[in-house]
Structures are given as C-alpha cells and as structure tokens.
Amino acid sequence: MDLVFKAGTDVVNVKVIGKKIYFKKLVNGVIIVQPLAKLRLPIKGLLDKFPDLKGKSEDYIRQEGADRLNKHIETMESQDKIKDYVIEELESIGCKLISIIKPGHRPIVVRKNLEREDNVK
C-alpha cells in the first residue's frame, strides 16, 4: 500500500510492506526506496516523542528513534492500523494526505486541488 502526502512543495510517498514502512523518492529520474532509518528524522520531533534521548548525539537519537518507531509499528495488528498511524503522525507535522493506493485497487483520492487549498488561507 502506498500513502501519498504533500509536505510543503514536496510529494512524500510512504510504502507499507507487511509491517515495515519505506519512503520512496525520485532522484535523477530513478525511484529510490529507503527504510525509515535512512531518513533524517527531525531531532525536535524525536525528542518530543522520546524525551529520554535528550543529551545524546544527533546520530544516536535518529537511529534509536527509528528503531523504536519500527518496533512500535511491528506491534500493530494490521496494515490498516499501520496506515492510520502513519497518516496521524505525518499529518501532525503538517503533511497533507493526497491519496491511498492499495495493490489491485483504484487509488483513493483524499484531497484534490492542494495548490488552491494552500492559497485560500
């Protein structure tokens, strides 16, 4: 299943495979799929979620934060629960869900005309 978000001017594609989440991005015309640990997760967000990591190095905080998030995701019962969790977390930091794409199904468009929506504030 793919979850497509708009984050500022970027499009973020989250791929859920089993109980793992990956991020897809386009680099020089090639689609790159990366695990959560490869992302540069925001230190402030990780410290808000895991305050016991305060005072550690940024690399350690990112690695430990990604490990804890992965362990939390592995405890979830279904892909739908993982989907709901990812949507909630990304929307809490300002990303907007555009569509949900399940294999073998038509995409579910959640938001259209995001450019207009951003300018109407």
The mean pLDDT values, 10 residues at a time, for the chain of 121 residues are 84 88 84 81 82 92 87 91 89 85 90 56 46
- CA 39 to CA 30: how far, in whole Å? 18
- Compute how many other C-beta atoms are within 10 angstroms of the C-beta atom of residue 86: 19
**pLDDT confidence of residue 120:** 45
0.75 surpassed by pTM = no
Domain boundaries, the chain: 2-112
**pLDDT confidence of residue 75:** 94
**Nearest CA to 22 among 40, 37, 10, 5?**
37
